[in-house]
Amino acid sequence: MKFYLITMITTLFMAVGTVSAQNVNIGTKIGLNSHTINSDNNSDFDSRIGIHAGLIGHIHLNNEFALQPEIMYSMQGAKSGNTELKLDYINIPVLAQYMFDNGFRLQAGPQLGFLINAKGENNDSSNDLKDDFKSLDAGLSFGVGYIHPPTSFGIDARYNLGISDISESANVETTNRGFQIGIFYLFNHSD
């Protein structure tokens, strides 16, 4: 986990180093999640539907490439029968983007998640499960986006692939998986 943290911090410092001479925009984003967990013990989980919301930065490195760091609250987890596992994170992805002339973007990069809540709910009962899960989650994000430059509004869709074990149990390895679709707005956006 230290490797993931060092990689994320290094990426953030590199991004900050390029900011001073570049075109930087700040924006907001909100959207829907469909997350589940993948387990090596062949457990079958359904997706938990939730939201993600937060702030984005968009740093133009040149006419084709940009960095997009984000800080997002994200409702994740899974369902199994009548039980819903609610895992809520603060996620910090740092995406490298290739920007086409027509507003479309391809994006990929690392993501670090900080667990802020873990609950299991079954009918009317709720149990705190935060001690059963690791506080950090490392992953990769891949996706596409589109911005309409005259309005500064955009949409993006991505797949988040967890690469670190989120379970505290030594008997099972569990990772996050999920799709997101969101809308965003960039303040003072320029091409």
The residue-averaged pLDDT of 55-83 equals 94
Confidence of residue 21 (pLDDT cuts 50, 70, 90): very low
CATH fold of 2-18+25-186 reads Porin (2.40.160)
Q: 162 burial class (0-12, 13-18, 19+ CB within 10 angstroms)?
A: buried
Q: Could you tell me how many residues make up the chain?
A: 191
- Do the beta carbons of residue 54 and residue 93 sit within 8 Å? no
Place of tokens 């965003």: 184
| Residue-level pLDDT at 14 | 55
Q: Domain map of the chain by residue range? A: 2-18+25-186
Answer yes or no: pTM beyond 0.95: no
pLDDT digits (tens, 9 = 90+) for 23-44: 889 999 999 999 999 988 877 7
The residue-averaged pLDDT of 166-176 equals 89
- Do the beta carbons of residue 105 and residue 68 sit within 8 Å? no
Confidence of residue 81 (pLDDT cuts 50, 70, 90): confident
